[in-house]
Amino acid sequence: MAAQKDARLSFVARVNQDVASGKLSAELNSAEFKEQQERADILSKALLKHLTNEKGEILARVEESRGFQEIYDYRGGQKYQHRLDRRREQASFDYSSRSHLFQKVYYANGLTANDELALRTAFN
């Protein structure tokens, strides 16, 4: 435990020394760092597009839950082939609104996280 604390303190001391000497600022202005920063920005935009709709609302992503996968993809093939969203759509289409209204709405496209929470509280 003491060795880990000493290692952390020495790392902090080295970073402080690099900042004071200007060595760290030179690394931050390098072309390699800027390229990595651009790649991180592209990745974050793709992730944001995956998690939100056009209005910026967070999607529920029901198909990524463990419960959904245990019921509709118990062997893991749909997840491996990146077809869980299609399986969710199929589940929504298969249910009748007369007998399975919750499932019909819950697995519909575009369900936001707030809508999911409202559905769960209304049907529990």
- Which DSSP letter does residue 124 get? -
What average pLDDT is seen over the chain?
83
pLDDT greater than 70 at residue 39 = yes
The rounded radius of gyration (Å) of the Cα atoms in the chain is: 23
Residue 42 predicted with pLDDT over 90 = yes
Q: Which two tokens stand for residue 104?
A: 């019909």
Give the pLDDT confidence score for residue 123 in this predicted structure. 80
**pTM of the predicted model as reported, rounded to 2 decimal places:** 0.58
Give me the residue spans of the domains in the chain: 2-51, 62-123
Stretch 59-64: mean pLDDT, rounded? 89
Task: Give strand pairing partners of 58.
Answer: 52
Using CA atoms, how far apart are residues 78 and 61, in angstroms rounded to an integer? 15
Token pair belonging to 101:
């209204």
Mean pLDDT of 47-63: 88
Confidence band for 9, pLDDT divided at 50, 70 and 90: low
